[in-house]
Amino acid sequence: MSVTINVNGKPMDVEPGLTVEGLLTLLNVKREYTAVAVNREITPKATYAAVTLAEGDKVEIVRPMGGG
Amino acid sequence: MYDTNLVLGGKEFSSRLIVGTGKYSSMDVMRDAHEASGTEIITVAVRRVSLPSGESILDYIDTKRYTLLPNTAGCYSADEAIRTCYLAREAGLGEMVKLEVIGDQRTLFPDVIGLLEATRTLAREGFTVMPYTNDDPIMAKKLQDAGAACVMPLGAPIGSGLGIRNPYNIKIILESVTVPVIVDAGVGTASDAAIAMELGCDGVLMNTAIAGSRDAVSMAKAMKLAVEAGRLAYKSGRIGKKLYATASSPLEGLPDWTS
C-alpha cells in the first residue's frame, strides 16, 4: 500500500504516514533556505516532523534561484 | 563629499546598486561580478527545488556579507506574490522583498492594482516591501501610502536595455514621495545608471545589463562607478543648461594683435 502525492508538480508514490520531514530526507533536500507548502499552506519548519502527507496532497518545495 | 546611506527597512547600505543573480554564464562569474559591483543587496527568485537537488545558488553568495532580496518574479496576482513572500520568509531569506505583480507576459509591465493590494497586505504583515512599478507618480504615491519602504519605477521594460525612457516622470516621482526611489529595470549600460542617479534617484537595481554583457565582471565595475558618479554629480549640483556659449576664459587681458 502506498499513497500518491504530488511533489513540485510531479506525482510520487510514498509510504502511508510519511511526514514532511521524512519526504525531505527521502529526497535529500537541504533544509537551509528551503521552504515547504502543502496544499497551498506554508508548513513551518518546526512542524515538518508533525505534518503527515495524505493521498492527493500537493507539496511545493522551494528555494532561492537566480533571478533579477 | 559627505553622503548619507540608503536606508531600507531600518537597515543602512552604503552601496546604491542592487544586483541580481539571473542569467550569468556561470556561478563563478556571478560571484566575481557581485564583488566588482560593490553591491550590498542581491536579488534572488524563489522557485521549486529541482529534484534531485544539486548545488544551491547560495553556495556562491556570502549571506553574512550581502542582504538577500527575494523577488516575486513570475507572479501574476497579488495572492501568488503574497504567498511567495511568505515562502521566502519561511525559507529564511528575510523580510525585505522585491515585490512584482506582473500584468503581461510580453511586456512584463506591472499590474499596479494587484501590486497595490499586495503592498498593503505585506507591509501590514511586517515585510519591507520594495515594489517594482510603472514610472507613474500617482501610483508611486499610492504605494508609499500603502506602506512601501521605497518605490522602484521601471526605466524601461525588464531586460530591454532601453535606459531611462521617461526621465521627467522619474523626476516627478522623486518630488511625489519621501521614501527612497530606486530605478528597477531597463538599464542597458553605465550611462543609464548614471542618468538615474543624476536625476536624484536613491539607487538602481539591475540584472541583465550586467549578467548579459560580454564581460559581466567589468560591466559590474562600470555600473558601480556609474552609480557613484551619478550620485556625486547629483549631490554636487549641476550647472544650468543654456543655448549659447559662455566663455570659460576671461575676456579681459587679451593681447592686442592689431597692427
B233: Cβ contacts below 8 Å, ≥ 6 apart = B194, B197, B198
pLDDT tens per residue across span B31-81: 999 999 999 999 999 999 987 667 789 999 999 999 999 999 999 999 999
**Residues of B with Cβ-Cβ distance to A29 under 8 angstroms:** 49, 51, 53
What's the pLDDT tens digit per position in B22-37? 999 999 999 999 999 9
Cell of B250: 576671461
pTM here? 0.93
pLDDT at A63 over 90: yes
Distance from C-alpha of A29 to C-alpha of A20, rounded to nearest angstrom: 11
Chain B: residue nearest A38 by CA?
A: B87
- At B160 the pLDDT is 95
Q: Using N-to-C axis directions, what is the helix angle for B216-236 and B27-37, rounded to 10°?
A: 20
Distance from first CA to last CA of chain A, Å, rounded? 44
Q: Which of A37, A60, A64 sits opposite B70 (nearest CB)?
A: A64
- Going B86 to B91 to B93 to B98, the CA torsion angle's sign is negative
pLDDT surpasses 70 at A62:
yes
ipTM of the complex: 0.91
Residues in chain A, overall count: 68
Q: Are B81 and B118 in contact (CB under 8 A)?
A: yes
Question: Three-state SS for B52?
Answer: coil
pLDDT less than 70: residues of chain B:
52-53
The Cα of A1 is separated from the nearest Cα of chain B by a number of Å equal to 24
pLDDT of res. B53: 67
Could you give the C-alpha distances from B133 to A6, B175, B201, in angstroms and in order? 35, 16, 15
Question: A65 in contact with B at a CB cutoff of 8 Å?
Answer: yes
**Contact between residue B58 and residue A62 where contact means Cβ atoms under 8 Å apart:** no
Residues in A closer than 8 angstroms to B207, CB to CB, are 67-68
State whether A30 and B30 contact (CB < 8 Å).
Answer: no
- Nearest Cα to B99, choosing from B146, B159, B38, B155? B146
